Structure 1
Amino acid sequence: MPTTNRYEGRPLLRLVDCLVLDAIDQLDDQKRATLEALEPRLAQTFSASGTWQEIVSSQMGFADDVPDKIRHFWRRYLDHADTENHRVDPQAFVVDFVAQNFPDIAPPRR
């Protein structure tokens, strides 16, 4: 069965995933540096200004407290994983979080 790239045809999804990873302090330094270097291009593409986080948040219509809310859900995820003795997987958290909260940009769940 062929697998589909999660981001194929969904450029904003990759940015939202990175924003969620950044909010939970799981975005690696290389990706962060790449996104910071892309800020001028993102600003031009979206006719916006600010950091890459501010530009993505603006495109998504996020309130200022969205990173705090994401961190709240992350802490609940960590607590649940600890209680159930499950492995913590930041990427799995991101995929589930985005699919549940932003189904209009997330790929169909299979």
Structure 2
Amino acid sequence: MADRYSDAPFLRFVDAWVLKAIGHLDKATEEYCVAMVPHLERSFGLRGSWDEIVAQRMDFDAGLAARIQAIWTEGKARFEEANGRPAEPVQFAMIFVDRNFSNI
């Protein structure tokens, strides 16, 4: 996974934002994101929590997290029914980001 972020470090935060939106952000990643707030603020000249900075930087509208949650919930059920195994939230987040936010 380190290779995914080597040329695009902000991508880590966008992936984390999507994981948070679907309720699957792990504690270690959340702690990392929180610790990086001062760096994000300096880098982008924005203020707020890490997820607020990501939303501002990416120009996400207020309803996007709820829409992503709905996509995850619907897609998860279909995936699990079709494949007989649990859907993987990290994989979902990465695919969602790659398909929808190519401007990172």
Is the structural similarity TM-score above 0.5? yes
Tell me the SS of whatever aligns to 2:4.
coil
TM (normalized to structure 2)? 0.88
TM (normalized to structure 1)? 0.84
Q: Distance between the aligned counterparts of 1:5 and 1:35, measured in 2?
A: 18
Instruction: Give the match for residue 97 of structure 1.
Output: 96
CA RMSD, Structure 1 to Structure 2 (Å):
1.8
Residue segments in structure 1 that go unaligned for 5+ positions in a row: 106-110
**Which of residues 22, 42, 47 in structure 2 aligns to 1:44?**
42
Whichever residue aligns with residue 100 of structure 1, its letter is R
Whichever residue aligns with residue 26 of structure 2, its letter is D
Fraction of identical pairs, as percent: 32
Contact 1:24 1:70 survives alignment (8 Å) = yes
Shift of 1:11: 1.4
Q: Deviations over 1:13-65 (max 9, x none)?
A: 11100101111111111111121122122111110001100001111011011
Q: Which has the higher helix share?
A: 2
Instruction: Give the match for residue 11 of structure 1.
Output: 9
Contact 1:18 1:27 survives alignment (8 Å) = yes
* Number of residue equivalences: 103
Q: Distance between the aligned counterparts of 1:38 and 1:8, measured in 2?
A: 16
Residue segments in structure 2 that go unaligned for 5+ positions in a row: none
